[in-house]
Structure 1
Amino acid sequence: MLLIAGLGNPGPQYARNRHNVGFMAADAIARRHSFSGFSKKFRGEIAEGTIAGEKVLLLKPMTFMNLSGDSVGEALRFYKLSPSDLIVIHDELDIAPGKLKLKTGGGNGGHNGLKSIDAHVGKDYRRLRIGIGHPGHKDRVSPYVLGDFAKADMEWLEPLIDAIADHAELMARGDDAGFLNKIAMATGGTAPGPAKAEKKTETATGGKPAPAGKSHIRQARNSAQPKALPTSGPMADMLKRLFGAKDD
């Protein structure tokens, strides 16, 4: 048996918060794999189903994020499961939006939900970390995670949540690399990329850049313009004879 806990805060006012992305993933897995409806148990909401031929329990703690371990620990003890049978899905500030990491153990990174679970069951469980990005300063973290995803975030969030549900079988089997690879393939191009680098002030060869607004073709045309006509020598004499030019 496998216990998958999606973390979040209860109540409609928190439903679209960045901190609730674990709830969103749990709901998507339940829909995709035809789980039973969620019912109240273990100070949370729990649904039962089967993934990859194994019985799976989906748990959404209703204790608020900071006390997630109360609910998760109670469920784990009731079913006599070990931390290795637990997968926790949660938001991660230190991962770019739309990116995932799946690993066993590790630190909590200041995440209060993980701190609570660590205190109840130890650290040897798997964590599916869903990147939401960082607001830039620690003083802005709380309002950021408790703020709703922006409308523009839906472009990467919805495909990502769907992909997690679609490929949950690989995660349930313990094929973490295969799972992450499928997610990357399914969401290719939807997650925000890195910021574009600033334009350099010199060319690759060290010269000055072309004037703004001039294309490479225009630069080539300008370089093809004829140079000033010679005023002395055999060529100058020939031109004078051809065009009847007079000496000064």
Structure 2
Amino acid sequence: MKYLIVGLGNIGYEYAFTRHNIGFRVLDALAEASNAVFRVDRYGEVTQVKLKGRTLVLLKPSTYMNLSGNAVRYWLQKENIGIENLLVIVDDLALPFGSLRLKSKGSDAGHNGLKNIQAVLGTQEYARLRFGIGDNYPKGMQVEYVLGRFDEEQEKLLPERLDVCGEIIKSFCLAGIQITMNQYNKK
């Protein structure tokens, strides 16, 4: 059984440690913990992680956030993975820093990456893991905030949050969306 795990972000060093790239950081942590190495391939960087008879295809799209749907569609088709086995990791302004919410479907909530995935796939019916980045920015400064870096205190807390994301991803693949939502969305 195969799963496509997509971490959203933007390519380029200037974006590497921004709040908007938390999806990339989640996948980097999961790959590192599994001794997997990303390779450059079509529409992104890709690696595979084996987990109890399952294959997790990890994808960091190189299409930039606003065109993420093209990469998602390509890798779903290439790996012959059903949409029920797709999980997208995304930053979320509406959640406090470090809060994690797994959802089985939903709107794009104004997130351009999710908006494009929905447009390309023609559905909102795919799982997403929302990573809270908070909304502590002055009016009119949302773009600068999202494309800014976590503060020093948040950076100290990130490793533990990234580990929990890895647990959620593994549970999604092993136990399914409902059990995983019940277990982790309460925390």
Structure 1 length-normalised TM: 0.69
The one-letter code sitting in structure 1 at the alignment partner of 2:148 is: G
User: Is the CA contact (8 Å cut-off) linking 2:91 and 2:133 kept in structure 1?
Assistant: yes
How far did residue 33 of structure 1 move? 2.1
Alignment of 1:120-131 (within 5 A): 120-121=120-121, 122-131=123-132
User: Is the CA contact (8 Å cut-off) linking 2:19 and 2:91 kept in structure 1?
Assistant: yes
- Partner secondary structure for residue 94 of structure 1: coil
Name the residue aligned to 1:12. Answer: 13
Name the residue aligned to 2:3. Answer: 2
Name the residue aligned to 2:102. Answer: 102
Alignment of 1:78-157 (within 5 A): 78-121=78-121, 122-136=123-137, 139-157=140-158
The one-letter code sitting in structure 1 at the alignment partner of 2:125 is: D
The one-letter code sitting in structure 2 at the alignment partner of 1:5 is: V
User: Is the CA contact (8 Å cut-off) linking 2:98 and 2:131 kept in structure 1?
Assistant: yes
The one-letter code sitting in structure 2 at the alignment partner of 1:131 is: G
CA distance in 2: counterparts of 1:179 and 1:9, whole angstroms:
30
CA distance in 1: counterparts of 2:116 and 2:170, whole angstroms:
27
Q: Deviations over 1:26-82 (max 9, x none)?
A: 0111111232x2112231000012123211100000111111111111111222222
Q: Which moved further from structure 2: 162-171 or 66-75? A: 162-171
The one-letter code sitting in structure 1 at the alignment partner of 2:42 is: F
User: Is the CA contact (8 Å cut-off) linking 2:92 and 2:134 kept in structure 1?
Assistant: yes
RMSD, aligned α-carbons: 1.8
Query: Any gaps of 5 or more consecutive residues in structure 1?
Result: 185-248
Q: Deviations over 1:163-189 (max 9, x none)?
A: 2224532121213136517x94xxxxx
CA distance in 2: counterparts of 1:6 and 1:40, whole angstroms:
15
- Structure with higher Rg: it is 1
Q: Which moved further from structure 2: 26-35 or 125-134? A: 26-35
The one-letter code sitting in structure 2 at the alignment partner of 1:24 is: R
CA distance in 2: counterparts of 1:66 and 1:177, whole angstroms:
27
- Partner secondary structure for residue 141 of structure 2: helix
Name the residue aligned to 1:60. Answer: 60
How far did residue 13 of structure 1 move? 1.2
Query: Any gaps of 5 or more consecutive residues in structure 2?
Result: none
The one-letter code sitting in structure 2 at the alignment partner of 1:2 is: Y
User: Is the CA contact (8 Å cut-off) linking 2:168 and 2:180 kept in structure 1?
Assistant: no
Structure 2 length-normalised TM: 0.90
Name the residue aligned to 2:184. Answer: 180
The number of residue pairs the alignment matches comes to 182
Percent of paired sites with the same residue: 37
CA distance in 2: counterparts of 1:178 and 1:107, whole angstroms:
20
Structure with higher RCO (Cα < 8 A, 6+ apart) = 2
User: Is the CA contact (8 Å cut-off) linking 1:135 and 1:141 kept in structure 2?
Assistant: no
CA distance in 2: counterparts of 1:147 and 1:136, whole angstroms:
10
Name the residue aligned to 1:195. Answer: none
CA distance in 2: counterparts of 1:104 and 1:47, whole angstroms:
24
How far did residue 5 of structure 1 move? 0.2
